[in-house]
Structure 1
C-alpha cells in the first residue's frame, strides 16, 4: 500500500481497529490479491447559508494548526446551514478494480454524533465556491451515522465506493465529495478535522483495490522448465513454455498469480492452452504430446491472471474472480526438430588417421564435415589428451580445429555434430599418432663420445644444435647427479655450455629441446668418459 503521509503509515494499525465498525474494511476472511492507498485531499471548501457569498476554499497544506474545521449541519442561533467538500486526486486509481473506498475523517469534540450525514459526489470546487455558487450535487453515495467512538481523532469512514469505482473505470483525474446533513431542517452539526492530530492522520480517501497483473515477462521456450532457453528450433515435440509473473500490488504473499499460455500453428490456428498453478515459480507449462509435428513451425503467447476475493454485497460470504493482464505479443515462431544430424566426418593431412603424422609442438588442422546433414550449427569435440570445447560451423556446415600435440602418444578426437535445435549426432572417433621432433645434437672437443677425455675438475665446452627443429627456443640439459639447467638457443640454432665433471669414468648428459610454449619437442642422451 502507498500512503500519502507518514502519519497515515503510523496510524494504520490503530485505524484498522476503528474503520471496520463502519463500511470501509471487510469482515475477516481469506486475503487474496489486494492493494490499497490513502490519498489526502488536494483542497477542501466550506459553504454557509449565513454568508451565502463568502468563499472558504483551502488548498490542502500539511502545516495547518488543526483549528480549521469542516463543519457540516445546522444551527438555529444563528440560523445557519453549512456543507463541506473535499477534492481528491484519484488518477492513481485509474484502471484498478476498487473493492471499497471511504473518505476517512476525524470528528472533533463538540460534534452532534447523532446527526446523520449524507455523502455525495459533486462537481469540482474552487476559490469561488460559495453557498450561492455550490458545485452540482450529482448523486448520493451513502448516509453515515456513527454509533461508536464519537468524537474521535481517528478516521471515521464515509463510504464513497461507487463514485471511486466509476472514477477509476473512467480514468478520472479528480473526484469531489460533498458532505451535508441528511435533514437540514433539524439542528445538529458535525465538526470534521481537516488536519492530523499528533500521530493520527488527517482526511484521506482510503481505498482497497486490486490492480490487473503485469503482462508476463522473460518468455522462453525450453526442453524443460529449468533447462536452457531454446532458440528458433526445439528438440522435442512436447516443449515447455516459460514466463515470469509480476503484479503491481505484489507487496505481500497474499498475491496469487498464475500464467495462462496459448499456442497456435504458423497460420494462427489455436491448438491448445494451459494454465499454471498459482504457487508456481517460474511459471511453466508443457505442450501435450500429439499436438506438434516434426518440421512444423508454431507460435505462442501468455497472460498473467490474478485471483481476488471480496465479500458478497449481502455479507453472506465471499465472491472470487480473476483479473487478467493483456496478452503478450505472439512470440517468434519455433520449429520442432527432433532428428539428430548424421555422424560427422573428420579429415586431416597433418594428422592422418591411424598412422604417424604431425609433430610434437607443431600445430596442425583437422576438418569437420556434416556428412550430408543440412542443419549442423556447431560441433562438440574433445581431444584425449588435450582440450575439449565446441566450434561454430561455417555456412557450408564445416569447421576446422587446430591442435598442437604435446606428447608422443596416440591422440583420440571425439566429435558430435550439433544442429540448431541442440540435437547431437552419433559420435565420431578419430585416432592419430603425432611423432617427436628430431633430437638435438650434442658435441664436445674435450669430452668426445668415443674416447676418454678431460679429467675430474677439468671444464669442457658442449655445443647443442637444433637439428633442423627451428621452433626450438631453449635447451634443457642435465649431467647425471646434478640439477637440470636451461640455455637459450643462439644465432645459428646452437648453444654452448661449459660443464665440469666431478667424477671419473662414464658420465651421462641428457639434453632436451623446448619450444616457446615450454613443450618438450625431443631429447637425446650423450655419454662420455672422464679420465681419472
Structure 2
C-alpha cells in the first residue's frame, strides 16, 4: 500500500484550467490597468520555499500543481487575466518549461500543472509566476524551489516497546511506549501509525478564502504522526491502546520528505484483563431496593496507573443503558448506589479510567429476579383439568416482591382487567366457565411507583 502525496485528499478550488505551452511574455507597461506580480504562491498545495537551500520536497508523478493569485493595479476591474508559469532545473537555468493558465480571475488562486515529463525524480527545480493583462506582463515572482521525490521509502520501520513486549501478555494500565526506527535509511524523515487500518491520508489541504490552500502538516497531529529525530533516525511515541484486554496491533509505515509512504508493518501484543471488581454491600440484593456497590481497580493497576474515575452502565433495569460517572478516591476505590429494578434481572458493567486516558476493560456484576406473581386456584389447578362448565372457582394472586398495589389479568386474550391488591399485597378473583377446554390466564403486578412487573401465564383445563 502506498498513499504518499499521489493520494492526498484536497478540497480544491474548481475553475476552468486550460494549459498551453508558451514563451514567457516580457514585462511591459501600457495604458489602463497594470498587471502585478502574483502573490500567495503554492506548489502541491504547500507554501512555496524561496530558500534555494531548503526546497519543498514533492511528489510529481502526474505533474506538479502550482498556483498563485494574479492581480492588477485596478482592483475594481475584474476582467480575466492570464497567469504564466515557468520552471527550470537549478543546475540548468536554460532548460525552461512554461505553462499558462488563461481566463484567471484577479484575486483568486489560478492553478496550473507543470508537466511530469519536465520534472526528473531527485532533481531540484525553480519556478516563477507572472500576470499577463491587456497584452502586458508583470515582473516574474521570486523563484520557488522544489525537489521532486517520486520514490517511496524502501525501508519499513523497526518497532520496539519498553513496556509491551511483542506476542505475549503484558500488564495493562499504562500508555504503550514505542520506539520507531528508520534503520539508518536517510530517505525516511518520519512515521505514521494507527491502531486500525486504513492509515489516515497524509498531507490534507483544505481550500480557504480566495482559493488559498491551507495545508495540514501531518506532524502537527501526534496521535498518528511523528517526525524522526534526524533523517534515518527514530521517534518515540506514547499511545493509549484501544479499550479492553486481549490482542492489540499497531500499524506503522515510514514517510519521506515528500510524504511518500513505505510498505506497512505491524507490532502485535496482548493486554491482560484490567476490569475492576464490582461488589454489592449485601450478598443478594433485593429487587427494587437501593444497593451500594464498591468499585475497586484490578490488582496492580493502581500502582501502575492510578484510577481517577469509573463509568457504570446499567443493563436490564428501568434505566437500561444509562451511564453513571463516579470519581474515585485516592486509593482508586469508589462507591455507587443503584436501584435494582430489572424485572427479569439486572447487570452492571464497570470500567475504570486513569488520568492519562487509559480505559480498562469492563468488570461485571449481575443478578436475576423473578417478579412474576404466584397464581393458585382451589378448583382449576395449573397445567391440569378441574371443575367443569358452570362450576365456580377462584384464583388468588400473590407477589414475590414488595410494594405491589394491583394485578392486571386477561383470560384467553380477553380485554385486561385490573384489581387492587390488599394490605398483604394479594388479590383474588372468582370465575365460572361457560365452556370446557384449555385456558390461559395471564397476570402481572404493578407497584406503587407504576412499574409493571413480569407477567405469568397460568394454563389450566376445564372438564
Assess same fold via TM > 0.5.
Answer: no
Classify the TM-score, shorter chain.
0.3 to 0.5
Q: For the pair shown, which has the larger CA radius of gyration, 1 or 2?
A: 1
- TM-score with structure 2 setting the length: 0.41
- TM-score with structure 1 setting the length: 0.36
